Amino acid sequence: MELRYGMNPHQTARVAGGGDHLRVVHGCASMINYLDALNAWQLVAEAGRAAGRVAAASFKHVSPAGAALAGELDETMRASWRLGDGAVGPVTAAYVRARDADPRSSYGDMIAVSEPVDHELADMLAGIVFDGIIAPGYAPGTVAALGRKKGGRFLVFEIDPTFRPPESESRTVFGVTLEQDRDSVPITADLLQVADGQTLSDNAVTDALLGMITARYTQSNTVVYVRDGMSIGVGAGQQSRIDCTILAGSKARTWWTRRRSTKPSGITLVSDGYLPFRDNVDAAAEHGVELIVEPGGSLRSDSVAEACREHRITLARTGVRLFHH
Q: Tell me how far apart the alpha carbons of residues 54 and 39 are, in angstroms, rounded to a whole number.
A: 17
Q: Tell me how far apart the alpha carbons of residues 250 and 235 are, in angstroms, rounded to a whole number.
A: 9
Query: Does 22-159 match 189-317 in CATH topology?
Result: yes
Q: Which residues on adjacent β-strands are paired with residue 171?
A: 178
Q: Out of 3.40.50.10710, 2.60.120.650, 3.40.140.20, 3.30.70.1060, which CATH number does the structure's domain 189-317 have? A: 3.40.140.20
Per domain, the residue ranges of the chain are 22-159, 189-317
pLDDT of residue 1: 85
pLDDT of residue 260: 84
Pairing status of strand 267-271 against strand 289-294: parallel
pLDDT of residue 135: 98
Render each residue's pLDDT in the chain as its tens digit; 325 residues. Answer: 899 999 999 999 999 999 899 999 999 999 999 999 999 999 999 999 999 999 999 999 999 999 999 999 999 999 999 999 999 999 999 999 999 999 999 999 999 999 999 999 999 998 899 999 999 999 999 999 998 887 778 899 999 999 999 999 999 999 999 999 999 999 999 999 999 999 999 999 999 999 999 999 999 999 999 999 999 999 999 999 999 999 999 999 999 999 987 689 999 999 999 999 999 999 999 999 999 999 999 999 999 999 999 999 999 999 999 999 9
pLDDT of residue 270: 98
33 neighbors 131 (Cβ within 8 angstroms): yes
pLDDT of residue 98: 98
By annotation, the residues acting in catalysis are 60-61, 221, 325
Burial of 137 (0-12, 13-18, 19+ CB in 10 A): middle
229 neighbors 51 (Cβ within 8 angstroms): yes
Q: Is the pTM of this model over 0.85?
A: yes
Instruction: Supply the DSSP symbol for 207.
Output: H
- Alpha helices by DSSP H, 157-224: 202-216
pLDDT of residue 178: 97
The CATH H-level (homologous superfamily) assignment of domain 22-159 is AICAR transformylase, duplication domain (3.40.140.20)
Q: Rounded to an integer, what is the distance from CA 32 to the centroid of its chain?
A: 17
